């Protein structure tokens, strides 16, 4: 009798393993088909998408494709190259597609290629198409930027970006940064169609902390007739002296202007009703690519070149 039970158990294990293997084969086949469909759709839109032959892996814990030499480039010349990538679905996270970039990374720009280093770079894409997340640690983009940690979240037209330990080249180190906002029109439209539909970007909260200095921004941006960003907002500064000192050390403020600017901002600072350190609120405006703060010109922003838009 015991032998029959052992035989029955052995047969059940074989059937279960066969079922798992069949499910894995079906899932990896579906992943390959979806990857091919996505690649062809992007190429039809003018993108460049290249990668090596996907290799199936992950059995029995998940359906995984190992992809070598992944290269994606948008029509405007911006893209990404990765020596390796793993694309997978896992039972413990079955509602999201996980993409991990491995090996040497490169950020592709119209003016050239910049190497990217990271200890961890993982994207999770919702299967319902509503958004996803991107997380990275120990990021370094060429000699231009180092980031200790990065977390980006998208859901519908809402977005949230958080970063810690930003060290831009030739600029003050930023201890922490957060940007939260919403688009009133989906980003899939062309720039001209997005403007025609009344597209607007609302920045509900943007904050950068540098030691005791804190800068906060609320703003609304649209596109002008030349499809360049324009808008208005309010900049709130806390720790004026520390912030101005950091900007002066970085060469962003001329030494001859520092004294008058510091005096004017300190005189304008007020203690909020709820208490806390003094702060000053200043109106910002972006128009014709010119940024002004309280009607004081700050500089020009570079033009934005949208995909599919002829150069002027």
Domain locations in the chain as residue ranges: 1-156, 187-312
Q: Where are the beta strands (DSSP E) in 239-278?
A: none
Residue 150 confidence (pLDDT) above 80: yes
Residue 147 confidence (pLDDT) above 80: yes
Residue 50 confidence (pLDDT) above 60: yes
Mapping DSSP to helix (H, G, I), strand (E, B) and coil, where does residue 291 land? strand
pLDDT of residue 246: 66
Residue 15 confidence (pLDDT) above 60: no
pLDDT of residue 68: 93
pLDDT bracket for residue 144 (50, 70, 90): confident
Q: What is the pLDDT of residues 40-49, one digit of tens each?
A: 988 888 889 9
Section 241-247 average pLDDT: 68
Cα angle 235, 210, 168 (rounded to 5 degrees) comes to 95
Extract long-range pairs of 16-21: CB within 8 Å, 24+ residues apart.
20/59, 20/60, 21/59, 21/60
pLDDT of residue 176: 95
How many CB atoms are located within 10 Å of the residue 223 CB?
20
pLDDT of residue 151: 95
Share of the chain above pLDDT 70, in %: 81
pLDDT of residue 211: 83
Residue 20 confidence (pLDDT) above 60: no
8 Å CB contact between 206 and 240? no
Q: What is the mean pLDDT of the chain?
A: 82
pLDDT bracket for residue 297 (50, 70, 90): confident
Q: Is pLDDT larger for residue 182 or for residue 91?
A: 182
CA atoms within 13 A on the CB side of 295: 0
Q: What is the pLDDT of residues 167-223, one digit of tens each?
A: 888 778 889 999 999 999 887 667 888 899 999 999 999 999 988 888 889 999 999
Q: CA 232, CA 180: separation in Å to the nearest integer?
A: 16
8 Å CB contact between 54 and 64? no
pTM for the full predicted model: 0.80
Burial 241-276 (b: 16+ CB within 10 A, else e): ebbbbbbbeeeebeeeeeeebbeebeeebeeeeeee
């Amino acid at each position: 009798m015991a032998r029959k039970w052992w035989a029955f158990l052995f047969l059940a294990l074989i059937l279960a393993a066969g079922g798992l293997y069949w499910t894995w084969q079906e899932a990896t086949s579906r992943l390959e088909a979806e990857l091919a469909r996505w690649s062809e759709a992007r190429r039809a839109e003018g993108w460049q998408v290249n990668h090596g032959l996907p290799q199936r892996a992950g059995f029995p814990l998940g359906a995984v494709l190992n992809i070598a030499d992944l290269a994606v480039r948008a029509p405007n010349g911006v893209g990404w190259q990765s020596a390796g990538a793993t694309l997978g679905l896992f039972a413990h996270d079955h509602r999201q597609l996980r993409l991990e970039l491995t090996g040497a990374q490169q950020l592709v720009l119209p003016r050239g290629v910049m190497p990217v280093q990271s200890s961890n770079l993982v994207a999770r894409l919702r299967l319902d198409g509503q958004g996803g997340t991107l997380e990275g640690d120990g990021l370094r983009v060429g000699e231009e930027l180092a980031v200790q940690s990065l977390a980006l979240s998208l859901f519908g037209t809402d977005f949230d970006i958080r970063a810690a330990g930003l060290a831009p080249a030739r600029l003050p180190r930023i201890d922490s940064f957060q940007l939260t906002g919403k688009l009133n029109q989906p980003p899939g439209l062309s720039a001209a169609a997005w403007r025609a539909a009344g597209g607007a970007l609302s920045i509900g909260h943007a904050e950068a902390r540098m030691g005791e200095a804190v800068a906060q921004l609320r703003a609304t941006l649209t596109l002008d007739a030349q499809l360049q960003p324009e808008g208005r907002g309010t900049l709130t500064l806390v720790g004026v002296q520390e912030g101005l000192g950091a900007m002066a050390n970085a060469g962003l403020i001329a030494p001859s202007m520092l004294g008058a600017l510091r005096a004017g901002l300190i005189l304008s600072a007020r203690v909020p009703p709820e208490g806390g350190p003094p702060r000053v609120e200043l109106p910002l405006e972006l128009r014709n690519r010119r940024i002004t703060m309280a009607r004081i010109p700050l500089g020009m922003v570079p033009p934005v070149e949208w995909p599919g838009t002829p150069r002027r």
